[in-house]
Amino acid sequence: MHAAKLLIPTLAILAACSDPAAKSLAQPALPAPTERVVPSSVAAMKSSFAPVVRKAAPAVVNVGSKRIVRQRVDPFWEMFSGGAPRERVAQSLGSGAIVRADGVILTNNHNIEGAEEITVQLADKREFPAKVLLADPRSDLAVLKIDVGAEKLPTIAIDDRGDLEVGDLVLAIGNPFGVGQTVTNGIISGTARSNTGITDYGFFIQTDAAINPGNSGGPLVDMDGDLIGVNTAIFSRSGTSSGVGFAIPAATARQVIGAALGGEHVLVRPWLGAKTQTVTADIARSLGMAAPRGAIVSDVWPGGPAQRGGIEQGDIIVAIGGQPVSDAGAVTYQFGALRNGETVPVTLLRDGKERTVTVRAQPPAATPARDDKVIQGSNPLQGATVANLSPAVADQLGIDPFAGRGVVIVQVGQGAAARVSLKPGDIVRAVNGREIRAVGDLAAPLAAKVRVWQLTIERDGKVITAQFRA
């Protein structure tokens, strides 16, 4: 079983599930809230969730994966074993949901990442090999396909209306710790959680329904038995449920599924072309705002969607498509949930006055051209694949597209680059003191015959200069 990842005291990645039908991902006006009714008698308190489980559980599956992990042993003993690293098979067990009757399944990306073999076990215990249609690390979702011939499998419906309220009853279904299909109940504890540290792209539903390792990819369902979220993470100091779990919203799941069923292997989301910062209490006070809300625009990409739509540096984005924006993470999520080519009204505060502009959703700009190059020769970048930094490349790697011109590492293979711990997303700023602004700038400094290499790398906004002996 794949143990849950633990972050900041312990955020454990866990998630998954979704449906087929491809709806518009536009931001429609929210429907009138459904009337909620509290239990009115002892008999009502003793009601059962069994009908909900009977509807949803048949579409919930187990997702198992295997990958080969190569480990180096002590260098002394390697002399007697021929120097070959030891290999072991790492296994992971999570959950998923059938979203189309012909065997299309949604699960967490971390359940299958790096897997050489993926197996799906249905609720009736039958097992099938699975292939990956699309994996999206940014949302931590992946779409799988199993071959069931002409058979029609049970599916789960996806409810992405967006009318969830704190206090709504929910069920989490999955396979925690590999014990078998399990159901837990709770309520929605919060919505629109965007500052969780789980992924750089998220807008999570929070629930107190027990979620544990192995629940990854299982559905969070409402009282209609419909999927409203994909269980993906927990906040815990022990690695087990402490009543703070997070699920990926159904709208995100539908977007990933739609891309996979449309034949895409990579999900390209719209990009606003503006760098934003959450309006804090201090910022709100300095701007004379009654209360902090929205995200302030600190930079605008020339010729990008924001600039063409009339958004300027210093504007405060307070709503997108009529949906209030609470922070910078909400801007990324709400604009990214649109379809490329779609137009959306964006509400701004400028000079203390509210105004609305129209912005057309478009994919990140792919200029300058990538010019991918695998570095060879005797140098610290050997084995790395580099490309020119553009918004499209930055979006792919989850780094800041406003980092300026430069060359970014997009992949690290066998060679010196791996040995000196370079990784995708590192921006090469200088080699032996020579500034690097494009892939072509690497040729001359890497061809030099030197005893000591000096490499300047920018990683997560920090610039590091290190020396390596040839």
Task: Name 374's Cβ contacts closer than 8 Å, sequence gap at least 6.
Answer: 383, 384, 385, 413
| 140 classed as catalytic | yes
DSSP, collapsed to helix, strand or coil, labels residue 413 as: coil
Pick the closest to residue 427 from 443, 392, 403 (CA basis). 403
DSSP annotation of 27? -
Contacts for 262-266: CB closer than 8 Å, 24+ residues apart: 262/22, 264/134, 265/133, 265/134, 266/134, 266/136, 266/396
Q: How far is CA 367 from CA 37, 235, 313, in A?
A: 54, 39, 22
* Strand extents, DSSP E, 258-338: 274-278, 295-300, 316-320, 323-324
What's the token pair of residue 88? 């072991």
Instruction: Return the closest-CA partner of residue 9 out of 235, 258, 281, 274.
Output: 235
Contact (CB, 8 A) for 73 and 83: no
265 catalytic, yes or no?
A: no
* Total H helices, total E strands in the chain: 11, 26
Q: Which of 92, 189, 216, 241 is catalytic?
A: 216
Place of tokens 């909620």: 36
Task: Give the sign of the dihedral formed by CA 298, CA 302, CA 306, CA 310.
Answer: positive
State yes or no: is 216 an active-site residue.
yes
Phi, psi (5° rounding) for residue 125? 80, 0
Phi, psi of 78 (to 5 degrees): -60, -25
Q: Which residues contact 49 (CB under 8 A, 6 or more apart)?
A: 171, 183, 185
Picking from 191, 158, 168, 169, the residue whose alpha carbon sits closest to that of residue 33 is 168
The DSSP line for 380-406 is TTTTEEEEE--HHHHHHHT--GGG-S-
- Which residue is catalytic, options 19, 92, 110, 189? 110
Hunting for tokens 């190059």 — which residue is that? 373
Of 19, 140, 159, 315, which is the active-site residue? 140
Alpha carbon of residue 416 to chain centroid? 30
CA distance 277 to 329: 9
Known catalytic residues? 110, 140, 216
